[in-house]
Amino acid sequence: MPSFWNDEPILQDQLKQVSHTIEHTVSTAHGFIRPILLDHVQGVGKMLRPALVLITSQLGDHEVAEDAIRVGSIIELIHLASLVHDDILDSASQRRGKSTIYAKLGAKQAVLAGDFLLAKALLLTNGRERGMDSRVVSAALSRLCESELDQDAGVGNFFISVPTYLRRIAGKTASLFALSCYGGAALQEGPAIQTMRCHRIGYCMGMAFQIQDDILDYSGSSATLGKATGNDLKCGIPTLPLLYALNEERSRGSAELATLLSQASMPLKGRSVKRALELVHALGGVQKAQNLAESYQKRALKDIENLENAEVRRQLLHLFAKLSGRSL
């Protein structure tokens, strides 16, 4: 369990139960894949998505801790499966400083490993979690897969629009954050306005989180990220700092960055990546992306302040404060 939750002991204990549920579920895998999958699910990050389920499940008087742990496990398994598929698309050899399933098994078996995790997530959905049945999970999963397919089909095309990028991350990241907050609140069967408010909180939090994650690819360090900076560029994936930089360059009537990207072969070579990173910073792409991330944060914070449960407000605001200074 990551130290990220040391200052929330009750929540940390519940997240340990989520981890145990996931490990028990994955332990049913057979043969050589079992230890590889267990290593993958034990190398968890901050477990933000199940934490959001657990926090928002407090918005009522029903005792739903068991269901919240199950729903959190379902969503985290979907997330873990998406990481396996992401690493295949990115040809990533490491994640958080550890070898990826793709690096260990190759693309074909890694795809099947990710699919196995998705199947296990759906099997955990038993239909008894109020407002959180397999149709809800499947809808979010469909959106996630559609966004991954769209991104994969467009690898190497750096010249997409900002709205196209925002639609992609809405499916890839914000959909699961929104599902987490909505699913937790839905367990209480409270007012519809409350569950929809939680959905908005999760959506805006997810959008801000992904934009910040994309910014870190331009501004982070290999030591803290557990992967090389500029990896999205190298793999032909356009993200918001780059798109804003290209728009700014176009408005200035120059084209060095656009020319560099249009003439480069995939994967982008080290020298080209370095120069592109420099240009994105010089053109203000990183700062403008940060401004948009902060606007999503403000929208989420406004909804959080309107939640009636003081403890839920405190936990969500505390989480926001910690994420705003994250280096991962």
pTM of this structure: 0.91
d(CA 106, CA 101): 7
45 exposure class (CB count in 10 Å sphere: 0-12, 13-18, 19+): middle
H helices of the chain, in order, are: 9-26, 33-42, 48-56, 65-89, 101-105, 107-124, 134-153, 162-169, 175-186, 192-219, 222-225, 231-234, 240-252, 256-263, 270-282, 285-305, 310-324
59 exposure class (CB count in 10 Å sphere: 0-12, 13-18, 19+): buried
At 225 the three-state DSSP class reads helix
pLDDT of residue 139: 79
For domain 3-324, the CATH class is mainly alpha
pLDDT of residue 244: 98
- Dihedral, CA of residue 289, residue 293, residue 295 and residue 300, to nearest 10: 170
Each domain of the chain, given as residue ranges in start order, spans 3-324
| pLDDT tens across the length of the chain (328 residues) | 668 899 999 999 999 999 999 999 999 888 888 999 999 998 668 999 999 999 999 999 999 999 999 999 999 999 999 999 888 877 888 887 788 999 999 999 999 999 999 889 888 876 655 656 567 667 787 888 888 888 888 888 999 999 999 999 999 999 999 999 999 999 998 898 999 999 999 999 999 999 999 999 998 765 555 556 888 898 899 999 999 999 999 999 999 999 999 988 888 888 999 999 999 999 999 999 999 999 999 999 999 999 999 999 999 999 988 887 654 3
pLDDT of residue 298: 95
